[in-house]
Amino acid sequence: MSKVIFLVDMQSFYASIEKAANPSYQNKPLIVSGDPERRSGIILAACPLAKQSGIKTAEALWEAKNKCPEAVVVRPRMQLYIDVSYQITKILEQFTDCIEVYSIDEQFIDVTGSQNLFGTPQQIAKKIQQAIFEDVGIKARVGIGPNKVLAKMACDAFAKKSPDEIFQLNQDNLAEKLWPLPIGELFGVGRRMEKHLEKMGLHTIGNLANHPVKWLQKRWGINGELLWRTANGIDESPVTPSTHQEQKAVGHHMTLPRDYQKLDEIKVIILELAEEVARRARTHHYIGHTVSVQVKGSDFQVRTGFNRQKKLASPTHFDMDIYQVALQLFQKHWDGLPVRGIGITLSQLEKAEIHQLSLFDDPLEKIKLNETMDVIYQKYGPTAIVRASSLMTAGQAHIRAGKIGGHDKGEGL
């Protein structure tokens, strides 16, 4: 029996939740945006009415307001969105136990074994749409395919334009439907790769699908073959519920509210980031072998900054270990220009409980100190205990304590 995979995608997820929560917004253009006063006024979501005015995700709030002055602007409530996403997962569990969360508003599900209970793929898709709308008040799109890559492209390229917002893509209609599309619409092709492929004369997905794979392998290795397989609808990866359970890295990035130009101020941010990364690693019982630092300059039109990493002498999940290496990397590679964004990542993870301790380093004191701080954090919140440096004007710990992913946390369900 051929596999039947769905990608269930929520329409304008954040904006739809806000409309469902406030019926007075139903017939108004609505956008969800960060705080414009802190230069994070970026559009996170726009409802279909707002999109009709040309508003796009990730553009500046002032640009969106120029296009649609009457738009209702709502601050993000990230905890609510996370709660609703979990609620949708529970709805999908009524149809199958094989669910892979792809993002906060997209989930892959395998309904191959559910057809005897719930009907044809089209019937199951409609039942899922109805269940989500009745329970959450949000419209869902469904892409159907024999594998994840075709389900994803069925959803992104066709379900959004289909009257019932359901579309099935398979080997029977691949050449007719998918291949005529521009190469930039292929899943996995970004703007840079799009330009490379177009220079090779590969302007459509069909051009790529019928191009000799050996030449793609020669130029891009395994990535070249992967693009060719995607264009031909080939994907053997299963829907895996545990996909996100094994982490490859722990990181935290901060977009700063203003230009940071002094090293002393930047040190405060690096320390706060190191503390957060270390705490997350300990929470999931990981230690890491490599520290990476990502820096973005203040000019968003001209990309400046760097991304550098360093392997540690021994793995760690302690904040000062991470901070010292991150600071070394920053001081070595910083060009002295104003900084607007900094990120720190701990990678090459392994489980902390199986790590062999060094005979020459007794971490007992560090372990006890960090265990105590973690208990205080869990019981009293992230600002119950902070370093004195975070109380300076450069510190962001208190401001970000009420946020998730850099956006307002708001209230949950």
CATH for 27: 3.40.1170.60
Residue 126 lies in a domain: no
Which of 70, 80, 58 minimizes the C-alpha distance to 27?
70
Q: Helices 364-380 and 263-283 sit at what angle, rounded to 10 degrees?
A: 90
Structure tokens given for 201: 């004369």
Residue at which a domain ends, from 184, 203, 231: 231
Q: Does residue 5 belong to any structural domain of this protein?
A: no
In terms of domains, do 255 and 222 share one?
Answer: no
**260 and 188 part of one domain:** no
pTM score of the predicted model: 0.70
The confidence score (pLDDT) of residue 38 equals 53
Give pLDDT tens digits for 392-405: 676 676 555 555 55
Residue tagged active-site, from 106, 165, 272, 276: 106
Residue 209: which residues within 8 A CB-CB, separation 6 or more?
Answer: 179, 228, 231, 232
Question: How much is the pLDDT for 293?
Answer: 95
Domain assignment present for residue 48? The answer is: yes
3-class secondary structure, 403: strand
What residue spans of 161-256 are helical by DSSP H?
Answer: 191-199, 205-209, 213-220, 222-231
Is the pLDDT at 160 greater than 60, yes or no? yes
One domain, residues 179 and 35:
no
**d(C-alpha 132, C-alpha 142), whole Å:** 12
- Residues 128, 8: Cα–Cα separation, whole Å: 9
Q: Tell me whether residue 105 is annotated as binding.
A: yes
Q: What's the CA gap between 58 and 322, in Å, rounded?
A: 31
Ranges assigned E (strand) in 235-338: 249-260, 286-297, 305-316
Q: Are residues 221 and 339 in the same domain?
A: no
Last residue of a domain, one of 28, 62, 78: 78
Assess whether 199 and 294 both reside in one domain: no
How many residues are given for the chain? Answer: 413
Q: In terms of pLDDT, which residue wins out, 44 or 396?
A: 44
For the record, the structure tokens of 61 come out as 């709030």
Question: Residue 325 corresponds to which amino acid?
Answer: V
Number of domains in the chain: 3
Same structural domain, 368 and 278: yes
Q: Is 106 a catalytic residue?
A: yes
156 is in an annotated binding site: no
Give kind and range of the element (H or E) at residue 73: strand 72-74
Would you place residue 241 in the very low, low, confident or very high pLDDT band (cuts 50, 70, 90)? confident
Residue 284 sits in the same domain as residue 343:
yes
Residue 49 — very low, low, confident or very high, per pLDDT cuts 50/70/90?
very high
Query: How many angstroms separate the CA atoms of 65 and 50, rounded?
Result: 10
**What does the pLDDT read at residue 410?**
61
- Domain end position, chosen among 54, 78, 102: 78
Tell me, yes or no, whether 89 lies in a domain: no
Is the domain of 355 the same as that of 223? no
Residues 79-107: tens digit of each pLDDT:
899 899 999 999 999 999 999 999 999 99
Residue 116 lies in a domain: no
Residue 303, in any domain of the structure: yes
- Residue the block writes with tokens 């069909």: 206
Q: What is the DSSP string of 262-273?
A: -HHHHHHHHHHH
312 with 395, same domain: the answer is yes
Q: How confident is the model over 21-26, as a mean pLDDT?
A: 91
Angle at 140 between CA 105 and CA 137, to 5 degrees: 95
- Two tokens, residue 297: 């300059």
Q: What is the pLDDT of residue 406?
A: 54
Return the CA Rg of the chain.
Answer: 24
The model's pLDDT over 289-342, given as tens digits with 9 standing for 90+, comes to 999 999 988 765 556 788 999 999 888 888 889 999 999 999 999 989 899 889
Residue 117 domain-assigned? Answer: no
Phi then psi dihedrals of residue 241, to 5 deg = -60, -25
What are the distances in angstroms from CA 263 to CA 33, 76, 310, 325?
31, 32, 20, 15
Percent of the chain scoring above 90 in pLDDT: 59
- Count other C-beta atoms under 10 Å from residue 204's C-beta: 20
> Are residues 266 and 216 part of one domain?
no
- CATH code of 226's domain: 1.10.150.20
CATH number for 347: 3.30.1490.100
Q: What is the pLDDT of residue 39?
A: 47
Q: What is the mean pLDDT of residues 252-276?
A: 89
Q: Could you tell me if 283 and 369 lie in one domain? A: yes
- Indicate whether 6 belongs to any domain: no
Task: Tell me which residue range forms the domain holding 325.
Answer: 249-406
Instruction: Say if residue 183 is in the same domain as residue 310.
Output: no
User: Coil, helix or strand for 199?
Assistant: helix
* CB neighbours of residue 207 within 10 Å: 17
Phi, psi of 32 (to 5 degrees): -105, 125
- The structure tokens listed for 41 are 């006024």
Rounded Cα gap, residues 37 and 273, in angstroms = 23
Confidence band of 204 (pLDDT split at 50, 70, 90): very high
For residues 315 and 348, give the distance between their C-alpha atoms in angstroms, rounded to a whole number: 9
